[in-house]
Structure 1
Amino acid sequence: MSKSDLTKTDISRLIEQLGTDKVKIFPGKGSEYGSASDWVVFAESEQEAVKVIRWAGESQVSILPEGQGALAGYGNPVCKEAVTLSLAKLNQVTEHSVGDLTVTVQAGTLLSHLQAVLKEKGQMLPLDPGWPEIRTAGGIVAAALTGPKRLKYGTPRDWVIGLRVILADGQVIRTGGKVVKNVAGYDMNKLFVGSFGTLGVITECTFKLRPLPPEETVIILEHSDVNALLRLSRRILDSSLEPSAIEIVNSSVLSTLLPGDHATFGLMIGFEDETKAVDKEQDQVVKWAKEEGIRVRETLRNDWAAALWQFFGELMPHAKGSESSAAKIAVKISTLPDQAAAAVQMIHYLAEELGIDAMIHGGTGTGITLAVLQPKQDQWAIAKELIQKVRQRIEEQLGYVVILHAPSFFKELIPVWGKTPAGLFLMRKIKAQLDPEGRFNPGRWVGGI
């Protein structure tokens, strides 16, 4: 079906059902990141979202689920004609059980709004992807987004206890429940967390919560030898200390976060706990750093520490960012935790050799390394070469290199997802069972799912 056919025939039926104020066209909306959709449908209820999905089935049109659109640069370009189904107006906190430490929110609820509501009761959702003011609950779950505090708190899979999901035939299902203890059996939540909107449209999320920690600190250390920082990191991880985050960073990250000259590499260590515990942990890290000959550049507490982590999260580009954000490439490298420091070092020196600006950081306790490349107009081929070299070395070590964010023309130069995961055949079977016609986000996910 061509875009003009869609415009002239089926869209009019959808407008009759929902009204002109909820069905809008934005010419060229998705071209920058490879979306096939200029049409956006703004559902204001789950029932309206069901109508859109049933209409899509009747009209043989694909659906691109979306919250605020920050993830438009993720994944492969969509391979079929589609409409964007925006859940941005489903943005209410519907139930907060303070005593049970659970909360239920609509999928379009912003993380920043949710955290503000929870803070009033001394609670938090312990997930920290960057840009909370444009991250929605549904988007965080669908893309399994995390931040540096993944080390202490884990991933969305660890905090989701229930979902409401619309399947391709318009059926609404509930997975899990609204209490922490549910009936034993297969955890259907895990099927949809990280499925990238390819199996169904999430309309509601129920999360477990934690009390807000009374004290927070972040310690920033520097050294020209990444191995010295790695030794300190291992010492902390092997001890009784409980860091919330440990990130090896390169000098570009340090220069962005703090003014002045910096060593080639740095280590950012966070703690969150009771005041006495945080004081003890900070003092111990400073002592060990001095023993290793590592410079303590800065220690920040509470609001200052939180502000630094927020700024740190904003290093990642997104699809709603400025023109400079659109020209960036974000790469995620997954390795064994002990290999993260080597990955940061490798990418730093490769980028330096090739003359490309790169901000790189890696979790020494998680094995997740992120690199943000900002090639100049004549450096896209060089950026491709850099990623290919990194991918070859990482995949030799059985790791993965995925392009999280890039303009659509760059995705035509190099595969987004890298090597095929071992479980792809099983993913295809699940996709065929839940979305047999490939209605949701066609071709966008790994293996063209």
Structure 2
Amino acid sequence: MALSDDRLEDLTAILGSDRVHRNAPEASLWGSSPAPVVFAESEEEIQRVVRWAAETGVSVVPRGRGAYAGYGNRVNRDFVILSLERMSGVLEHSAGDLTVTVRAGTSLATLRDHLSRRGQFLPLDPPRPEMTTAGGAVVTGMTGPKRLKYGTVRDWVIGLRVVLADGRVIRTGGKVVKNVAGYDMNKLFVGSLGTLGIITECTFKLRPVPPVEILILLEADDWNAVQRLSRRLLDSPMEPAAVEAVNGEAMRLFSEAWQAPCGVMVGFEDERSAVEAQWDRLKSWATEEGLRLHFALEGGDAAEGWRVLGEAVPGALDPPESETAVVAKGITLPDRVPEMLRAVDEVSSEEDLRAIAHGGAGTGVVRAVLRAPKERLNALTAALKRLRGRFEEPGGYLVLEQAPLEVKERIPVWGRSPGGLFMMRRLKERLDPDGRLNPGRFVGGI
């Protein structure tokens, strides 16, 4: 049921007609009813919207620029979309302390450009950094191939400002790296999908930009060769930034002429002497294991190579396509990544689907983009069910990061329940007892 005109008029009176758009196209990502989108420009305006929602019984669906707007279950209550994309900008950059504080709607690409002028960077590399906001990266916990070297989002967050469901504002952590007082409340909100509070500011620790970055793409004739080289590399004293196994469709993002069935992308970031020594050893090992060099890129070209891989992931608010696209994220043991990528290829081939897939041979995170004509929805859902079984059989997970509602109605978004679900529900009850924020979107219907 859509929101009544009276409730919308009250919301418009609070913020102004230029801040409330009545029919947001992205509302269809979470439910079938039309819903308004509200553009907040300050923390105080977010508090007003949250308090209005509490008074009227309306739920709030926070979002940044919408890169991952389709993540999670549908919302089965009346809701308003609260956009933070206008809350952008760097508030404080302490270059000497290697910390930065930004408004939650700041895109990671904007932050990267700002930090690069001081020779620093935030080591988070989720897909589509121009659309991924600081707050969005925190609440989704999204990472990319360089997770191998730099870790996860929670490793870089040192402070947050959050508006809770009752309109109160809290600060977690601080603005210095050595913040050890009390519980680490930051970790409650990282990966919470906006169900516990609305993040308004993020403070991150930083690193100096490495002097040299290179990206190597090696092709292989079979997944066994990828497995052997990856294991040899990861068992060595070398310190790659990423070891990303890729299927043939992922390799053809760089050139449609390449016909190899699989390969591996390896990144190094360090002093030149260290990078060159590691690259020389990798070349020797690749030859011994039967892999062939496609390219070795340096500096900005290397960064562009990783960008191309990330661009394979469609944005939730991209223009409609002629095909149905689903983004699935699998979690498995790092040593099983080539095996799981082989399974993606086998299943997609048998169901006559196109699948672009890659996975961290040292992290266990696999991401696959499956596409099918809209009339072949049955084949797409059948493939997803089979893949979920393959991932879950050894104790892993397969989550639908992005999928249209017609797919979510056939395939559960989250799959099997994770350990600690009881505790997650208790936290939700404590911080949002009325279920006002993103109700039902998270795992277990939280």
Instruction: Sort the TM-score into its range (normalised by shorter chain).
Output: over 0.9
**Residue 138 of structure 2: aligned partner:** 141
Displacement of 1:374 in angstroms is 0.5
Please, which runs of 5 or more residues in structure 1 have no aligned partner? none
* Aligned with 2:440 (options 431, 438, 443): 443
* Aligned with 2:313 (options 316, 330, 337): 316
2:246 corresponds to 1:249: yes
Task: Note closer, same or farther for the CA distance 1:9–1:33 as it changes in structure 2 (3 Å cut).
Answer: closer
Contact 1:37 1:84 (C-alpha < 8 Å) held by counterparts: no
Displacement of 1:35 in angstroms is 6.6
2:46 corresponds to 1:40: no
2:161 aligned partner, one-letter code: R
Contact 1:361 1:369 (C-alpha < 8 Å) held by counterparts: yes
1:234 aligned partner, one-letter code: R
**Residue 167 of structure 2: aligned partner:** 170
**Residue 53 of structure 2: aligned partner:** 56
Q: Which moved more, 1:292-301 or 1:430-439?
A: 292-301
Displacement of 1:261 in angstroms is 2.6
In structure 1, C-alpha distance between the alignment counterparts of 2:346 and 2:201, rounded to whole Å: 44
Displacement of 1:33 in angstroms is 5.2
Structure 1 counterpart SS, 2:423: helix
2:259 corresponds to 1:227: no
In structure 2, C-alpha distance between the alignment counterparts of 1:107 and 1:37, rounded to whole Å: 26
2:303 corresponds to 1:306: yes
TM-score norm. by structure 2 comes to: 0.98
Please, which runs of 5 or more residues in structure 2 have no aligned partner? none
1:192 aligned partner, one-letter code: F
In structure 2, C-alpha distance between the alignment counterparts of 1:345 and 1:234, rounded to whole Å: 16
Task: Note closer, same or farther for the CA distance 1:56–1:15 as it changes in structure 2 (3 Å cut).
Answer: same
**Counterparts of 1:18-417 in structure 2 under 5 Å?**
18-26=15-23, 28-32=25-29, 34=31, 38-324=35-321, 327-417=324-414
Task: Note closer, same or farther for the CA distance 1:301–1:27 as it changes in structure 2 (3 Å cut).
Answer: closer
1:39 aligned partner, one-letter code: P
In structure 1, C-alpha distance between the alignment counterparts of 2:6 and 2:256, rounded to whole Å: 57
In structure 2, C-alpha distance between the alignment counterparts of 1:17 and 1:73, rounded to whole Å: 28
Deviations along 1:314-370, one digit per CA (max 9) or x if unpaired, are 111121223229721000110110011100001101111211000111111000011
Contact 1:35 1:78 (C-alpha < 8 Å) held by counterparts: no
Contact 2:323 2:374 (C-alpha < 8 Å) held by counterparts: no
Contact 1:36 1:79 (C-alpha < 8 Å) held by counterparts: no
Structure 2 counterpart SS, 1:9: helix
Q: Which moved more, 1:63-72 or 1:431-440?
A: 63-72
In structure 2, C-alpha distance between the alignment counterparts of 1:429 and 1:37, rounded to whole Å: 31
TM-score norm. by structure 1 comes to: 0.97
Displacement of 1:37 in angstroms is 5.4
Deviations along 1:232-262, one digit per CA (max 9) or x if unpaired, are 1111111111101111111111111234232
Displacement of 1:143 in angstroms is 0.4
In structure 1, C-alpha distance between the alignment counterparts of 2:320 and 2:217, rounded to whole Å: 31
RMSD between aligned residues: 1.3
Structure 2 counterpart SS, 1:287: helix
Contact 1:318 1:325 (C-alpha < 8 Å) held by counterparts: no
2:337 aligned partner, one-letter code: A
